[in-house]
């Protein structure tokens, strides 16, 4: 029988599996399996005397089987999802003989970590590096927009960037809070904080809610459009894209919309509206997601399949390659729309076609060969392709 009560008591030795836990209203006492074995080997009279001594401190110590920390975290996470976000319910369901523990006992080890270690846990929960890339696209949208003030409003750029960062942190935290049982099954995600037990689901949920409230609050000081886009993106990512990953391959299109919104936030922050040229930025980000993610997901097919995710690379590999090629090619006309709508000069059409042509060439290799090597090359190309396009937009912009 798996006991989550054991897992929460023995936080310093998650893999020992030999802890015996007895939760009490004023605390808990842990008795090791070694002590139980020693007691069993004593003469009856001495054992009876020791039992009386032990009974002065605990009532009954029920041995627990070896504990899987990932299963324990999943049990705790299920309790949080079931309505109260109260981790102690996982303890009650896993070990019915245990009494209720205070909520503070179920807030995982993050509280006892030093500031540096805790910062690392938060960084992994919010996907700090990924959040930084999203913020860069917001900054790009702000910089490319025709500014309503002169000189350039650096304070406005800082405010929209900070608000976006909090919104992205919220969306990523909600995502990990929801996906703990599935992250535990994947090699790529099994080291995430909630899976490892570095943080309780209630703690992660609190971070997600707080980050979202702060982010939307900051963006609301700019204008309602930016705040609405920020809130909408949190809901779209955590509330629609995340559960859809297990239902339909359409999740990739929804995820691409999520990626296309940040530059619109930057544009709206600078101008107070969404003009047609801003859709060029959104279109580039939307189309770019497909060669980038489809190539990435190709090598992750075993992981996605094991966790039950409905990704194109798993359910329809041929479609996965075709979609990557289709949207790579679509980047060419979308980029040419930039000078046509007055966002850049016409030199950008030439420069961008060269770069977009190269990623289309790599996508063609991926489409025709369908091997890990061609997928990896397309993915690596996508990593420098987007920064290069954004840089060219700034160089050739009529407004920057």
The whole-angstrom separation of Cα 172 and Cα 170 is 6
- Model confidence at 51: pLDDT above 50: no
Biggest CA-to-CA distance, the chain: 96
pLDDT value at residue 218: 97
If residue 331 lies in a helix (H) or strand (E), which one and from where to where? helix 317-340
- Model confidence at 370: pLDDT above 70: yes
Q: Higher-confidence residue: 147 or 187? A: 187
23-32 contacts, C-beta under 8 A, 24 or more apart: 23/91, 23/95, 23/98, 23/99, 23/100, 23/101, 24/58, 24/99, 25/99, 25/100, 28/101, 28/105, 29/57, 29/58, 31/58, 31/61
Lowest mean pLDDT among 27-36, 132-141, 219-228, 272-281: 27-36
DSSP one-letter string for 31-52: EEHHHHHHHHTS-HHHHHHHHH
Of the pLDDT bands very low, low, confident and very high (cuts 50, 70, 90), residue 115 is: confident
The whole-angstrom separation of Cα 159 and Cα 135 is 11
Q: What integer is the mean pLDDT of 114-133?
A: 84
The whole-angstrom separation of Cα 274 and Cα 25 is 57
**Listed ranges 1-10, 13-22, 127-136, 245-254; the one with the highest mean pLDDT:** 245-254
Give bridge partners of residue 344 from the DSSP assignment.
397
The whole-angstrom separation of Cα 270 and Cα 149 is 9
Q: 287-343, pLDDT tens digit by residue?
A: 999 999 999 999 999 888 888 899 999 999 999 999 999 999 999 999 999 999 999
**CATH 2.40.128 is held by the domain 275-400:** no
Give bridge partners of residue 30 from the DSSP assignment.
21
Of the pLDDT bands very low, low, confident and very high (cuts 50, 70, 90), residue 162 is: very high
Q: Which two three-digit tokens encode residue 308? A: 């039950």
The closest alpha carbon to 172, from 214, 117, 139, 129, belongs to 129
Secondary structure (3-state) at 167: helix
Of the pLDDT bands very low, low, confident and very high (cuts 50, 70, 90), residue 77 is: low
pLDDT value at residue 20: 34
CATH 1.10.357.140 in the chain, residue ranges: 107-274
CATH 1.20.120 in the chain, residue ranges: 275-400
Q: Higher-confidence residue: 399 or 125? A: 125
The C-alpha angle with vertex 95 and arms to 89 and 100, in degrees rounded to 5, equals 45
The percentage of the chain sitting over the pLDDT mark of 90, rounded to a whole number, equals 54
Fold of 107-274: Tetracycline Repressor; domain 2 (1.10.357)
Of the pLDDT bands very low, low, confident and very high (cuts 50, 70, 90), residue 26 is: very low
């Amino acid at each position: 029988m798996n006991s989550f009560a054991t897992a929460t008591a023995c936080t310093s030795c998650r893999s020992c599996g030999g802890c015996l836990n007895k939760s009490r209203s004023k605390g808990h006492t842990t008795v090791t399996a070694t002590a139980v074995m020693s007691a069993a080997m004593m003469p009856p009279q001495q054992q009876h005397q020791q039992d009386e001594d032990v009974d002065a401190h605990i009532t009954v110590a029920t041995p627990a089987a070896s504990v899987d920390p990932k299963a324990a975290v999943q049990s705790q996470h299920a309790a949080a999802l079931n309505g109260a976000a109260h981790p102690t319910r996982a303890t009650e369901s896993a070990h019915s003989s245990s009494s209720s523990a205070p909520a503070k006992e179920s807030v995982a080890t993050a509280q006892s970590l030093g500031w540096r270690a805790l910062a690392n846990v938060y960084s992994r929960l919010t996907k700090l590096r990924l959040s930084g890339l999203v913020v860069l696209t917001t900054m790009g949208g702000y910089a490319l927009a025709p500014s309503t003030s002169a000189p350039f409003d650096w304070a406005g750029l800082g405010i929209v960037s900070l608000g976006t960062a909090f919104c992205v942190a919220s969306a990523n935290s909600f995502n990990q809070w929801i996906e703990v049982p599935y992250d535990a099954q994947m090699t790529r995600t099994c080291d995430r904080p909630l899976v490892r037990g570095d943080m309780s689901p209630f703690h992660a949920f609190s971070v997600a809610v707080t980050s979202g409230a702060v982010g939307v609050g900051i963006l609301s000081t700019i204008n309602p459009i930016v705040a609405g886009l920020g809130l909408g993106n949190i809901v779209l990512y955590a509330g629609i894209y995340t559960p859809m990953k297990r239902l339909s391959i359409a999740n990739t299109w929804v995820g691409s919309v999520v990626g296309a919104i940040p530059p619109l936030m930057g544009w709206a922050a600078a101008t107070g509206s969404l003009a047609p040229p801003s859709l060029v930025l959104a279109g580039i980000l939307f189309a770019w997601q497909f060669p980038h993610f489809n190539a990435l997901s190709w090598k992750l097919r075993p992981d996605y399949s094991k966790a039950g995710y409905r990704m194109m690379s798993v359910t329809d590999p041929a479609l996965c390659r075709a979609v990557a090629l289709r949207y790579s090619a679509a980047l060419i006309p979308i980029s040419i729309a930039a000078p046509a709508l007055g966002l850049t000069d016409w030199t950008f059409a030439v420069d961008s076609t060269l770069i977009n042509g190269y990623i289309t060439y790599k996508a063609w290799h991926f489409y025709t060969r369908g091997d890990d090597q061609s997928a990896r090359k397309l993915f690596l190309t996508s990593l420098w392709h987007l920064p290069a396009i954004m840089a060219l937009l700034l160089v050739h912009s009529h407004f920057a």
